[in-house]
Structure 1
């Protein structure tokens, strides 16, 4: 249960943060507006991730989805580079 709590808190934050940053990077328009939308979506996504991580019966699937999603988001951001 402790591993599930740590994964939900830290892994969920990492996945939501990577998704929010990626969303702010790919949204068209002004940087400030794209960042604001990314932040708004990140709060909802973090709540959904936290609830799902305690609902899912398999801890391995939770670990894979959260940490894998966070790493995939960071890799996509690294490949995209800085915003022109």
Structure 2
């Protein structure tokens, strides 16, 4: 249960912030608008990640999905670099 709670709280936050940053980086609109869209959608991502962490039947699959997704998005952001 501790792994599920930690994954829901910390992992969900990391995944939501990574998704928000990726959306803000990839949207072809003004930076302020892209950042706003990323922040708005991050609340949805955080809620989905938290619900999935308690609903998933296998905790390792949930942890791999949330932490692995966060790592993959972080790697993609590192490869993309800063927005020109």
Q: TM-score range by the shorter chain?
A: over 0.9
Tell me the secondary structure at the aligned position of residue 69 of structure 1.
Answer: helix
Q: TM-score, normalised by structure 2?
A: 0.97
Cα shift at 1:29:
1.1
Q: 1:7-54, CA deviations, whole angstroms, 9 ceiling, x for partnerless residues?
A: 111011111110110011000110000000000000011001101110
Tell me the secondary structure at the aligned position of residue 28 of structure 2.
Answer: coil
The Cα RMSD (Å) is 0.6
What are the within-5 Å matches in structure 2 for residues 2-81 of structure 1? 2-81=2-81
Unaligned runs of 5+ in 2: none
* Structure 1 segments of 4+ aligned residues over 6 angstroms from their partners: none
Query: What is the count of residue pairs matched by the alignment?
Result: 84
Tell me the secondary structure at the aligned position of residue 29 of structure 2.
Answer: coil
Unaligned runs of 5+ in 1: none
